[in-house]
Amino acid sequence: MAHIKVDLVGGPEQLPPPGNFREVEDGTEHLKITVGGGYEHFTHDGEFQRRGTEDVAIFRWTGRTKIAE
């Protein structure tokens, strides 16, 4: 499956490496990233922005949940 570059907008100030820019599988609409004791959730609503010669998918922060113990 192909990968696309994404930019994560919103959420915590400090995301784990690689930070706000990542690659995900093409067709992914939701991302869940582990940060500290929880998950940061991001959703893609179809928005893309041009960055140099590439279109980058914009994923916006939708909330945080705690990791169940």
33-62 confidence digits (pLDDT tens): 999 889 999 999 999 999 899 899 999 999
Q: What local confidence, expressed as pLDDT, does residue 59 receive?
A: 95
Q: What local confidence, expressed as pLDDT, does residue 1 receive?
A: 64
Whole-number mean pLDDT of the chain?
Answer: 90
Q: For residue 62, how far is the Cα from the chain centroid?
A: 10
**pTM of the complete model:** 0.86
Q: What local confidence, expressed as pLDDT, does residue 18 receive?
A: 83
Tokens of 28: 């992914």
Residue 39 bridge partners (DSSP): 34, 65
Q: What local confidence, expressed as pLDDT, does residue 17 receive?
A: 81
Residues spanned by the domain of 60: 3-66
Q: How many helices (H) and strands (E) does the chain have?
A: 0, 5
- For the chain, the domain total comes to 1
Tell me if 62 sits within 8 A of 11, measured CB to CB.
Answer: no
Q: For residue 18, how far is the Cα from the chain centroid?
A: 11
